[in-house]
Amino acid sequence: MVADGGAQDVWSNNHSDRNDGRTENQSDTGLAANSVYGVKALQPNDSILNACGGSPENSCGLSGECEQGSKGFEAEEDEPRSKRRRNENQSNEAAASEEAVTEPRIVLQSSTDSEIIGDGFRWRKYGQKVVKGNPYPRSYYRCTNVKCNVRKHVERAIDDPRAFVTTYEGKHNHEMPIKNTNPNVPSEKDSQASLSKADKP
DNA sequence: CGTCTTTGACCAGCGC
DNA sequence: GCGCTGGTCAAAGACG
């Protein structure tokens, strides 16, 4: 807000672009997304992805067909608010072995914002906070679907400010709100909205 | 008019 | 027991 005010604004806007219709495109190019994160993905999380089915975009991250994910999802629903994860540091390691099974957490690192914003679902930003160890603020998003408690955190990579790290928590128990089967005809509403916002400071 | 973003403050868990 | 940090909520404003 201070040191990164301008940059933050831009970055925030980029993510505020919610998910225009490009999602389909991404889903279509699941390999691309995969490669992006196959190359830049965080090592410890690689196991998480495997545990979840390989690619968050194609497996449980979006489709919500991951049984394990559903399990963890239900458990999350029962959690009261503001319950900090235990052993957050360990989670990185634990996630690679056990947590990934009980708590579906998908960490995706992408070098382009479009990879993050266009996941096919509508997200509502409910918070932003600067976390220790990272000069860039972390944005908190929640799925706008009332019956969907999926959340995601988006933050910049420390190493590469141009890279964004998106952490998905939970599984979508609904279908994609954006149904643009035709990649050439993305959701006009969302598309325009995001474009306009992205264009605006 | 409806929806979403932004910002500040509060709460709870964890570490020392 | 205290302090710190992270995560979430709520209100107001802005935009399409």
How many angstroms is C1' of B1 away from CA of A14? Answer: 26
Residue nearest to nucleotide B15 (CA to C1'): A87
pLDDT digits (tens, 9 = 90+) for A101-127: 445 677 777 765 554 445 678 888 999
Q: What average pLDDT does chain A have?
A: 54
How long is the CA A84 to C1' C6 vector, in angstroms?
A: 7
Q: Measured between alpha carbons, how far is residue A40 from residues A45, A48, A54, A104, A195 in Å?
A: 11, 14, 15, 20, 27
Give pLDDT, residue A176.
Answer: 66
Top mean pLDDT of A50-54, A92-96, A118-122 is at A118-122
Band of the pLDDT at A175, cuts 50, 70, 90?
low
Output the pLDDT for position A150.
84
Strand C proximal to A124 Cβ, under 7 A: no
At A77 the pLDDT is 44
Mean pLDDT, rounded, for A38-50: 41
The distance (Å) linking the CA of A16 with the C1' of B4 is 9
Residue A140 confidence (pLDDT)? 92
**Whole-number pLDDT of residue A156:** 83
Give the pLDDT score at A5. Answer: 36
| Whether residue A90 has pLDDT greater than 70 | no
Mean pLDDT within A92-96: 40
The answer to pTM > 0.75 is no
